[in-house]
């Protein structure tokens, strides 16, 4: 299985990346000419909507660059394997756990980029969510993009080119990924042994987002959450209903975040305390098995400000990560809701396209009869407006935003 098999419905992208990897191998390897128009460059920007597989594509490319076989990207050699499992010594990947990617992380990355690869052909610096770079961090990165080391390559991922500073964007070659079709997603889920009917439903409901489709196909709780969310439009007759629905939605997002983070937060804190030699509690606790939090930054913090400072910094990271999980969960809910109103509009206009939520046919038809296309369009726009507001404004209180939204969606 080649590294490109993980990319679904992205043939033009695969062709470009495989070509560049071949060129790169030709240039840095035997020095022989490679018969391809694709050229290699030091900075790449992978764009595309959530679920299109930006970071999957970037990682596949990173593997191909360090592949030991020809054509590059075999998926089986040591070079491919270590990149795909994140254990390659020449790969450094950074993903913000919280809401932003700060200058400290980037400075470390830039320092790494300056040195030659140790075992592979290329030193790869992979930045997931480059849209979360602070301006200061982006400027620190810019310097490295302007004067790249000979065998270093930066792979940045962001939803669109507009999500990174123009100065950064202009240094990168852009690779645009599109969302695969539900049929393509269903085929992949089927290949992984998921029942065809369930795979088709999940692929449809996720509207091409592979990760979301996989979660809907394999996690009953995720399916239940979706059902609850899609019930919201039909329960918004009175003001009180709207406020209740908003409270339920935010409570569910908070529960999601707690489930995802609580154990991890505690284990991290405990592991840090042990490494600092302070206040470690019981022996044999989960902390012993937990991986200590990222070493570099924290270790320096200890020497500068002592243990209390390090613990405070960790608490800050965890709080930011918790908030991000809440926002991610709300974002998924709003995408589902937008799909529901889109389906209503499709029925009202008699458009010959498939429903995103085929299991919601009755409720969607009732809503289509009870409202006008203008009202539906207004509601769909409201969902998208608050989705954008939550993404763009880190200071916004989620409950207030969702309450304002459900009041705009009111049907009574
Ligand atoms: Zn390989």
Top-confidence residue, 406 or 34? 406
Judged by DSSP in three states, 44 sits in strand
Nearest to 176 by CA among 339, 346, 301, 45: 45
CA distance 1 to 291: 31
Q: pLDDT at residue 115 above 80? A: yes
- Domain positions in the chain are 3-176, 239-261+316-409
- The structure tokens 């608050």 sit at 386
Q: What percent of the chain has pLDDT over 70?
A: 91
CA distance 141 to 195: 45
Q: pLDDT at residue 29 above 50? A: no
CA distance 191 to 134: 40
Q: pLDDT at residue 306 above 60? A: yes
Task: Give the pLDDT of residue 256.
Answer: 78
pLDDT band at 305 (very low <50, low <70, confident <90, very high): low
Task: Give the pLDDT of residue 279.
Answer: 61
Instruction: Count CB-CB contacts under 10 A for residue 361.
Output: 12
Condensed to tens digits (0 to 9), the pLDDT of residues 88-106 reads: 989 998 887 777 888 888 9
| C-alpha of residue 11 to centroid of ligand 1, in Å | 19
CA distance 17 to 7: 11
| C-alpha of residue 59 to centroid of ligand 1, in Å | 13
CA distance 275 to 407: 50
| C-alpha of residue 70 to centroid of ligand 1, in Å | 8
135 Cα distance to chain centroid: 20
Bridge partners (DSSP) of residue 158 are 47
CA distance 309 to 224: 41
Top-confidence residue, 313 or 400? 400
Mean pLDDT of 316-330: 83
DSSP class per residue in 96-121: -SSS-B-HHHHHHHHHHHTSPPSSSS
| C-alpha of residue 137 to centroid of ligand 1, in Å | 33
Among 62-71, 260-269, 320-329, the range of highest mean pLDDT: 62-71
For domain 239-261+316-409, the CATH architecture is Up-down Bundle (1.20)
| C-alpha of residue 110 to centroid of ligand 1, in Å | 26
Condensed to tens digits (0 to 9), the pLDDT of residues 148-169 reads: 888 999 999 998 999 899 999 9
29-33, 113-117, 408-412: which has the minimum mean pLDDT? 29-33
| C-alpha of residue 150 to centroid of ligand 1, in Å | 22
| C-alpha of residue 156 to centroid of ligand 1, in Å | 22
Edge-to-edge order in the sheet of strand 123-127: 91-94, 123-127, 152-158, 43-47, 173-176
pLDDT band at 391 (very low <50, low <70, confident <90, very high): confident
Condensed to tens digits (0 to 9), the pLDDT of residues 182-224 reads: 999 999 899 989 999 999 999 999 988 888 899 999 999 889 9
pLDDT band at 368 (very low <50, low <70, confident <90, very high): very high
pLDDT band at 34 (very low <50, low <70, confident <90, very high): very low
DSSP class per residue in 254-309: HHHHHHHHHHHHHHHHHHHHHHHTS----TTSHHHHSPPP-HHHHHHHHHHHHHHH
Task: Give the pLDDT of residue 125.
Answer: 94
What CATH code would you report for 3-176?
3.40.50.300
Burial class (CB in 10 A: 0-12, 13-18, 19+), 264: middle
Cα→Cα distances 231→101, 134, 206, 248, Å? 36, 38, 17, 11
């Amino acid at each position: 299985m080649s590294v490109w098999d993980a990319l679904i419905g992205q043939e033009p992208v695969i062709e470009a990346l495989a070509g560049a990897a071949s060129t790169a191998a030709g240039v840095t390897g035997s020095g022989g000419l490679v018969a391809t128009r694709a050229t290699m460059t030091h900075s790449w920007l992978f764009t595309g909507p959530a679920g299109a597989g930006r970071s999957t594509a970037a990682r596949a490319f990173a593997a191909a660059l360090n592949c030991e076989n020809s054509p590059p990207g075999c998926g089986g050699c040591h070079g491919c394997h270590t990149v795909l499992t994140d254990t390659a010594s020449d790969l450094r990947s950074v993903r913000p756990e919280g809401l932003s990617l700060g200058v400290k992380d980037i400075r470390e990355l830039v320092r790494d980029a300056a040195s030659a690869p140790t075992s592979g052909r290329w030193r790869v610096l992979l930045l997931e969510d480059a849209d979360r770079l602070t301006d200061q961090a982006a400027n620190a990165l810019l310097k490295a993009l302007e004067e790249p080391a000979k065998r270093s390559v930066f792979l940045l991922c962001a939803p669109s080119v507009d999500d990174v500073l123009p100065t950064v964007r202009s240094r990168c070659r852009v690779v645009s990924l599109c969302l695969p079709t539900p049929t393509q997603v269903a085929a992949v889920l089927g290949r992984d042994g998921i029942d065809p009917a369930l795979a088709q439903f999940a692929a449809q409901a996720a509207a091409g987002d592979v990760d979301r489709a996989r979660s809907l196909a394999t996690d009953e709780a995720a399916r239940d959450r979706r059902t609850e969310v899609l019930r919201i439009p039909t329960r918004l007759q009175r003001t009180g209903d709207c406020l209740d629905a908003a409270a339920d939605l935010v409570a569910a997002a908070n529960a999601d975040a707690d489930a995802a983070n609580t154990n991890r937060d505690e284990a991290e804190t405990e592991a840090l305390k042990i490494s600092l030699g302070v206040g470690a509690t019981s022996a044999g606790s989960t902390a012993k098995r937990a991986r200590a939090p990222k070493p570099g930054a924290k270790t320096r913090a200890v020497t500068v400000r002592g243990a209390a400072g390090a613990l405070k910094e960790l608490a800050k990271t965890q709080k930011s990560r918790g908030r991000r999980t809440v926002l991610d969960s709300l974002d998924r809910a709003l995408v589902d809701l937008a799909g529901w109103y889109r389906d209503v509009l499709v029925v009202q206009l008699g458009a010959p396209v498939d429903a995103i939520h085929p299991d919601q046919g009755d409720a969607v038809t009732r809503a289509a009869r009870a409202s006008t296309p203008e009202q539906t369009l207004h509601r769909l726009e409201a969902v998208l407006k608050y989705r954008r507001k939550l993404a763009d404004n880190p200071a916004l209180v989620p409950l207030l935003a969702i309450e304002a939204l459900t009041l705009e969606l009111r049907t009574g």
